[in-house]
Structure 1
């Protein structure tokens, strides 16, 4: 079975509805996944914009997501620790939790990559507020599966 990531809010390669952006309510979209490897002990999700003017921009970091979950609900609170869902890191907005697409006006559509890592670790041993680079360093050698969902957005 293939490890896949999807959202009821938008399909892969499609435009992210404004509700999930800085032009709307700026809430995280619901995510669903299936087909994770049997050796999965937890998940880590990093959402990034590879098209940002100054280089890759991180929009969301959440890790130590329990292996028993097969998705995240819409509107994950911006709390450092979300009971039953995981621990949140700091985005490049400088804040804990999800920060939606907010590209400069008039540019071509930016891509927003939701990258879900299935890990063979139950915990990364990081407290709340880790940056994407710290998470990526910690998961090296522990990724047992990887699923991606990409949306686009322009203003």
Structure 2
């Protein structure tokens, strides 16, 4: 039988909790520390890789189907009450470029299918989407000017609130501000695209 001292030192509160409450709370203590390895992955690309062809914008000289990527996340902090997602081009001139912001994804959701933005899947979950910097509501894929590839930061945020005080179609920068004030933890991928 394992003792409280057998548990990983990266989660010291778990060991003290077990010693105080007894071994019957092993599962609960494990859940409380799950957020230490909060990660996000995608079937469309890998961290440090390139956007898939289906995610590319369909305007401004780009000819892609503009489908939001599939995303899967796990090991969010135990106190998570909802999730939010943003995609931001950090290489765009000026303040950068918002491609997507989604909030109010329920805490029991751990993945989004490809094209969740346009297919209506997010609305079925009760989630809301911002207006991106293309001035379009929902997802707007990469479409940088010709030249060096741009880096796009995809972030899944674990939030300490069920819903943010936002409405569908508000600017992405406003979503970002509200998300920042309620974040428990985040997981990121950085993906490139150039033309």
Deviation at 1:85, TM superposition (A): 5.5
Contact 1:3 1:36 (8 Å CA) reproduced:
yes
Match of 1:59 among 72, 92, 99: 99
SS of the equivalent of 1:77 reads helix
Structure ranking higher in strand proportion: 1
1:34 lines up with 2:68 in the alignment: no
Match in the other structure for 2:170: 130
Contact 2:98 2:173 (8 Å CA) reproduced:
no
Relative to the length of structure 1, the TM-score reads 0.92
Deviation at 1:57, TM superposition (A): 0.1
Match in the other structure for 1:149: 189
Structure 1 unaligned blocks of 5 or more: none
Match in the other structure for 1:108: 148
* Bigger relative contact order (CA 8 A; separation at least 6): 1
Match in the other structure for 2:16: none
Task: Tell me the alpha carbon deviations over residues 104-136 of structure 1, each in whole angstroms, 9 at most, x when there is no partner.
Answer: 11x111011111110010000211112222223
Shift of the 85–21 alpha-carbon distance from structure 1 to 2, 3 Å rule, reads: farther
Deviation at 1:82, TM superposition (A): 1.1
Between the two proteins, the alignment pairs up a number of residues equal to: 153
In structure 1, C-alpha distance between the alignment counterparts of 2:46 and 2:179, rounded to whole Å = 27
Deviation at 1:11, TM superposition (A): 0.4
TM-align CA RMSD? 1.5
Bigger radius of gyration among the two: 2
Relative to the length of structure 2, the TM-score reads 0.74
Task: Tell me the alpha carbon deviations over residues 44-87 of structure 1, each in whole angstroms, 9 at most, x when there is no partner.
Answer: 111110101333100001100111110111012346x6111611
In structure 2, C-alpha distance between the alignment counterparts of 1:96 and 1:30, rounded to whole Å = 18
